[in-house]
A and B are shown apart, each in its own frame.
Chain A
Amino acid sequence: MIRGEQLSKQFGDVMALSPTDIHIREGAITAIMGGSGSGKTTLLRLLAGLEKPTSGHIWYGDEDLCAISDRRLYQLREQMGMLFQYSALLNSLNVYDNVAFPLHEHTDLDESVIRTMVMMKLEQVGLRGFEHLMPSELSGGMAKRVAFARAIAMDPRIVFFDEPTSGLDPISAGVITTLIADTSRKNRMTSIVVTHDVGAGLSIADHVILLWQGRIIAEGPPQSIRDSDDERVQQFLEGRPDGPIPFSRSTTSYIDDLTHKPGTVRMKS
C-alpha cells in the first residue's frame, strides 16, 4: 500500500539513496536494516514525506506523496505516527501534554476522554505516574517510551520507527521492541522500523529490507535473510569486521600514513 518507485536522494555530491523500488505491505512490520550511512534513515524520511526525493515517486494507495497539496499531506499524516531516534519530545510540554498533543490538535474530544486515552498509552509503556515530568527530566529510555506513547496516541494506521532501540539499555530496548511487535499486531498497524539492531529486526519483522551503500542488497522474510548466501548479508548479520563490506573507510595506505611518507599525509602548515 506504500510504494516507492525509483526513489533516490542526493545530498550535495553524496548519493544517499540510489534509485530504489520498495513495497511496504499493509498491516505488517517491515524492518529496514543496514549499517550507518547505508541510507536507511533517508529512506524512512522519504517514505514519511519529511524529505523530498531527488527523483521517483512515493505512492500511498493511488496518491503520489510528492504531488499532493500540503492540506492533503497533513490529512494523511493524521493517520501516521513516528518515533524519532532522539525522541523529539516537545520540550516546552510535560509528558502528559506531549502524549496528548496529537489528540488536542486533531480531535474535539473532551479533556476527560483524552486523559483516559493518555493514561492507557502511558500504562502501555509503563510510565503511568510520570505525567508531570518535563522531557529534560527524563532518561533516554523513558523519553523514548513517552515518544512511543505519543506516536501511537491517535491509533495511527502507519507508524515509522527511526532507530527505536539505539542508545537504550537492553531492558528498555527489549521493552520497546516488544511494544512495537505487540501494538502492531493488536492494532493491525503498518510498521516501518529502521534499525541496525539485527536481533530485534529479524525477530519482529514480517519483511526485511537490507540496505548497503544506498542500495537494497537483500529483501524478504527474516528466514530468507538468515539463509541468504550473499557474503555481505552474512557479514552484516554476524557483525564480522572482515568481508566484502570493508570496516575501514580509509583509502590511503596505513603504512605510508604511519611513516609520514610525503604526499600521503597532508600536514597543516
Chain B
Amino acid sequence: MMVFGRLGRMTLRGIEQFGDATMLALQALALMFRRPWQGKHFVLQLYALGVGSLAIIIITGAFTGMVLALQGYYTLAKFGSESLLGAGVGMSIIRELGPVLGAFMVIGRAGSSITAEIGIMRVTEQTDALEMMAVNPKQRIILPRIVAVTLALPLLVSLFDVVGIGAGYLVGVDLLGVNPGAYMAELIAKIGMHDMYGGWVKTVVFGFLIGVICTYMGYRAEPTTEGVAKATTQAVVIASVSVLIIDYVLTSFFL
C-alpha cells in the first residue's frame, strides 16, 4: 500500500512539475516579442551553448561514424554487401544517432551548465537583483537560453552527421577497402530528403525540450547548494529520458 501511495504522489508531483515547466516556458517565450530585445544575450548564449559544444560534438560524431563503419562492415561483409556500408552508416547517423547522441552531448555539456548557472543565480539572489534592477529574469535568463539551444542543436547535429559520415568514409574506404564510389553512391541513393526532415524535426524538438527542462530545473531549484546540485543531476536525467521517449514517438511518425 505504501508503494502505491508513493507512486501516486510521485505521479502527481510529476504532472505538477510538467505544468509548471510549461507555464514558465510559455511566459518566457511570450516575452520574446516584447521590448527590450534580447538579441545580444541570445548571441552570448549561442556562443556559450553552441560554440561551447562544438568540440565534443565533432569528437563524438567522428567516433560514432568510425565505429558504425567498423561494425557495419563486418556485418555486411557476411552477406557480401559491403557496398551498402555508406548507406548503413549515413542512415543510422542521420535518422537516429546524430539527433539522439548529439542531444545527449548537448545535455551533458550545455544543459547541465544552464541548470547549474541559473540555480546559482537563484541561490546568490542574482535573479532577485535583476528583478530589482527592473530586468525580467524570465526574459533575460530563460528566454535566450531556450531559443539558443533550440537553434544550436540542429546546427550541431548536422555537423555531427557530416563528421560522422566523413569518419565512416575514412574507416570504410581507407582502412577496410570499401569501394569509395560505392560508399558515397549508395549513401546518396538510399537517403532521401524525407530522412533529412525526420532528423531535423527531431533536433529542433529535442533542443526545445532540453532548453525548457534545464532552465526550469535551475529556476525552480531549491535555493541551496545541495538543491542546485540535485537539480543539475535531475535535469540531465529527465532531459535524457525525455529525449529517448520523444525520439520513439517522433520516429514512429516519420517512418
Instruction: Say whether A and B bind each other.
Output: yes
Contact B126–A78 (Cβ < 8 Å): no
Question: Among A50, A85, A86, A91, which residue has its beta carbon within 8 angstroms of that of B132?
Answer: A50
Q: Which residues of A sit under 8 angstroms from B132, Cβ to Cβ?
A: 48, 50, 77, 80-82, 160
| Number of A positions contacting B (CB below 8 A) | 23
Q: Which residues of A sit under 8 angstroms from B136, Cβ to Cβ?
A: 70, 74
In the complex, per-residue mask of B121-137: 1 if CB is within 8 Å of any chain A CB, else 0 = 00011101111111110
Contact A74–B129 (Cβ < 8 Å): no
Give the A-B contact count at a CB cut-off of 8 A.
Answer: 48
Contact B134–A77 (Cβ < 8 Å): yes
Contact B133–A86 (Cβ < 8 Å): no
Contact A88–B124 (Cβ < 8 Å): yes
**Shortest CB distance B33–A (Å):** 14
B132 nearest CB neighbor, chain A only: A82
In the assembled complex, the Cα of A48 lies from the Cα of B135 at a distance in Å of 14
Contact A90–B129 (Cβ < 8 Å): yes
**Shortest CB distance A122–B (Å):** 17
Q: Is A59 an interface residue (CB 8 A)?
A: no
Residues B135-168 near A (CB distance < 8 A): 135-136
Q: Which residues of B sit under 8 angstroms from A102, Cβ to Cβ?
A: 133-134
In the assembled complex, the Cα of A101 lies from the Cα of B129 at a distance in Å of 11
In the assembled complex, the Cα of A269 lies from the Cα of B133 at a distance in Å of 51
In the assembled complex, the Cα of A86 lies from the Cα of B129 at a distance in Å of 11
Q: Which residues of B sit under 8 angstroms from A268, Cβ to Cβ?
A: none
> Are A50 and B131 CB-contacts (below 8 A) given A84-B125, A88-B125, A91-B126?
yes
In the assembled complex, the Cα of A85 lies from the Cα of B128 at a distance in Å of 12
Q: Which residues of A sit under 8 angstroms from B134, Cβ to Cβ?
A: 74-75, 77-78, 102, 105-106
Q: Which residues of A sit under 8 angstroms from B129, Cβ to Cβ?
A: 82, 84, 88-90
**Shortest CB distance B17–A (Å):** 18
Q: Which residues of B sit under 8 angstroms from A160, Cβ to Cβ?
A: 132
| Number of B positions contacting A (CB below 8 A) | 14
Question: Among A70, A75, A85, A105, which residue has its beta carbon within 8 angstroms of that of B133?
Answer: A105
Interface SS majority for chain A: mixed
**Shortest CB distance A152–B (Å):** 12
Residues B145-196 near A (CB distance < 8 A): none
**Shortest CB distance A35–B (Å):** 21
In the assembled complex, the Cα of A70 lies from the Cα of B130 at a distance in Å of 14
Question: Among B125, B126, B130, B131, which residue has its beta carbon within 8 angstroms of that of A85?
Answer: B125
**Shortest CB distance B222–A (Å):** 13
**Shortest CB distance B143–A (Å):** 14
Q: Which residues of A sit under 8 angstroms from B126, Cβ to Cβ?
A: 88-91
In the assembled complex, the Cα of A48 lies from the Cα of B133 at a distance in Å of 11
Residues A85-108 near B (CB distance < 8 A): 85-86, 88-91, 101-102, 105-106
Contact B124–A105 (Cβ < 8 Å): no
Q: Which residues of A sit under 8 angstroms from B130, Cβ to Cβ?
A: 90
Residues A17-75 near B (CB distance < 8 A): 48, 50, 70, 74-75
B31 nearest CB neighbor, chain A only: A70
Q: Which residues of A sit under 8 angstroms from B131, Cβ to Cβ?
A: 50, 77
Q: Which residues of B sit under 8 angstroms from A80, Cβ to Cβ?
A: 132
In the assembled complex, the Cα of A77 lies from the Cα of B135 at a distance in Å of 9
Q: Which residues of B sit under 8 angstroms from A50, Cβ to Cβ?
A: 128, 131-132
Q: Which residues of A sit under 8 angstroms from B125, Cβ to Cβ?
A: 84-86, 88
In the assembled complex, the Cα of A82 lies from the Cα of B128 at a distance in Å of 9
**Shortest CB distance A192–B (Å):** 12
Q: Which residues of B sit under 8 angstroms from A85, Cβ to Cβ?
A: 125
**Shortest CB distance B64–A (Å):** 33
A90 nearest CB neighbor, chain B only: B126
B135 nearest CB neighbor, chain A only: A105
A159 nearest CB neighbor, chain B only: B132
In the assembled complex, the Cα of A102 lies from the Cα of B124 at a distance in Å of 18
Of residues A48, A88, A89, which shows the largest number of chain B Cβ atoms within 10 Å of its Cβ?
Answer: A88
Q: Which residues of A sit under 8 angstroms from B128, Cβ to Cβ?
A: 50, 82, 84, 88
Q: Which residues of A sit under 8 angstroms from B133, Cβ to Cβ?
A: 77, 101-102, 105, 150
B residues bordering A, Cβ < 8 Å? 36, 120, 124-126, 128-136
Contacts beyond the supplied A86-B125, A88-B124: 11 A-B pairs with Cβ under 8 Å: A48-B132, A50-B132, A74-B135, A81-B132, A82-B132, A84-B129, A88-B126, A89-B126, A90-B129, A91-B124, A105-B135
Q: 26 A-B pairs, CB-CB below 8 angstroms?
A: A50-B128, A50-B131, A70-B136, A74-B135, A74-B136, A75-B134, A77-B133, A80-B132, A81-B132, A82-B132, A86-B125, A88-B125, A88-B126, A88-B128, A88-B129, A89-B126, A89-B129, A90-B130, A91-B120, A101-B133, A102-B134, A105-B134, A105-B135, A106-B134, A150-B133, A160-B132
Please name the 6 residue pairs, one residue from A and one from B, whose CB atoms are nearest each other, closest first: A88-B125, A88-B129, A77-B134, A82-B132, A74-B134, A84-B125
